[in-house]
Amino acid sequence: MNDELLFAEDLDEDKVEYQGTWKVLIVDDEPEIHAVTKLALNDFEFQNKNLEFLSAYNGQQARDILLKDNDIAVVLLDVVMETDDAGLKIADFIRNEAENHFIRIILRTGQPGQAPERDVIINYDINDYKSKTELTAQKLFTVVIAALRSYRDIVAINENRKGLEKIISASADLFRTHSMESFIEGIVQQLSSLLGGGNNAAYLTCAVAGPRPFSGSCTHSLDNLVVFTGQGEYQSAAGKALPSVLSGEQLDACRVALKDKSLVYADEYLVAYCESHTQCGSLLYLSGLPKRLTDAQKKLVEIFSQNVQIAFDNIMLTKDIEDTQREIIERLGQAMEEGSAVGSHIQRTVKICQILGQALELDEEQLRLLTSAVPLHDVGNLYAPTHTLFKTDKLSTHDIDLIAKNTKLGYRLLKDSKRPLIQVAATIAKEHHEHWNGKGHPYGLHGENIHLFSRIASIAIAYNVMRSATQHQDAWPVPLVLARMQELSGSQFDPNLVAILSQNIDKIEDVTLDCVR
């Protein structure tokens, strides 16, 4: 070995239980340099993490490792290996081909004259340049500590940037449920980064299902808390009761935070209570913290929990308005229906339309318009009541006249609205008795000239009628209904929708039975 590294004597220390590692890549064609470097940094510890060493002995091995591992913190890079500028080529590869601007590059050379420091610093994006002869164990320790601090800060800034990007992208659409989830995810990502948790953090946000009771009093019980959204190991927990997701010490911490309306901290997790003016309060559970929080970090969590609750309140208010609107329309639709199946006919029809719409990959806004407008399909009953809804036999001339009057009056009642929801309802009211072959009523529309929403509503209504018991008939069994639908495929109904209904029959039966219960 050409160069000597002078080391101070090792000091005995108690064993430390490390939480993760910093990856250090050693690139040098001399095996002795690898061994000496590992020995010098054997007891290295920074932020309760030790070092994990990777070794490459030429430029190609270094390239392979750098492409495989994108979380290397520091590379100790020899300049002269298989060629006089092999190390410089690797530095250029890291920044320009691998496009890794996080890793800290420390050039080490035994031949400084081959690559003058001034020229290298100016022409290459490296972070430090050292001669092997000047790198004692202490100086190597100092250089690596400085590099890791720089790497840590750059990664933290990048995590904050990602969090801000998610918040910005969600803010334009903040009041939609899915963007609220993105908003919370971005906030938590930023917060966990600031607290030192990085990408290892997992979280839950939990809330009481439904608005604050009219009396204004809330029952603060864990059994009432439902997971709103989760990340990490809790990614699939949405919709579940909190006690079915957490247990033991973590669940007890949630109980204390809920009871005292406070923040509860532990070594690796925290629970924050979020006050609400419209809900009964919610909880944030964040795990994967690397250490106990400082007072400044605790203050940050308090501000975070308050701000998240404001956003949560806003979206829940919007959701409450939409749910109220939907319920009013459904109750109005039920009031216009006749027959023994009145109680659940509208709900079942809406659920079937939703399943068919999802199978057709309608977007969220289209699904909302469809399912909200369908309850008004027979709004013409207000002026021209018809008993044909629950008839499955051939319609008489009188029935057809009633249908024509009913649909035209319903359309006339709704058509002048400028609201997209009411416009969709007007179209469905006008066309839901039209047939795929053009022999429907009252306009004789055919094929795709009938709006997709009207075709979906038509098949959903017909299926629901045949599966409903009324004073005129017993409910048809599923096989008989599917056989009848197949007979009418291509004549009364859109063949594609008949096929989709058959493919999703189990889902349809599940939701229709739930509505009956």
Q: Which domains does the chain have, with CATH numbers?
A: 21-154 (3.40.50.2300), 173-315 (3.30.450.40), 337-516 (1.10.3210.10)
For the segment 355-376, what is each residue's pLDDT rounded down to a tens digit?
999 999 999 889 989 998 898 8
> Exposure of 376 by Cβ count < 10 A (0-12 exposed, 13-18 middle, 19+ buried)?
buried
Lowest mean pLDDT among 55-64, 99-108, 249-258, 287-296: 287-296
- Token readout for 457 is 């509503």
Percent of the chain with pLDDT over 70: 72
Strands (E), 153-265: 202-208, 225-231, 263-265
- pLDDT at 93 > cutoff 90: yes
Residues in a beta bridge with 225: 208
Q: Is the pLDDT of residue 171 over 60?
A: no
pLDDT tens sequence across 71-81: 999 999 998 89
Q: Look at residue 86 and tell me whether its pLDDT is greater than 80.
A: yes
Order of strands across the sheet with 282-287? 225-231, 202-208, 282-287, 269-274, 263-265
Q: Minimal CA–CA distance to 133: which of 118, 113, 153, 147?
A: 113
Give CA–CA dist 440/338, Å, rounded: 22
How far apart (Å, rounded) are the C-alpha atoms in residues 201 and 191? 10
User: So what's the pLDDT on residue 1?
Assistant: 41
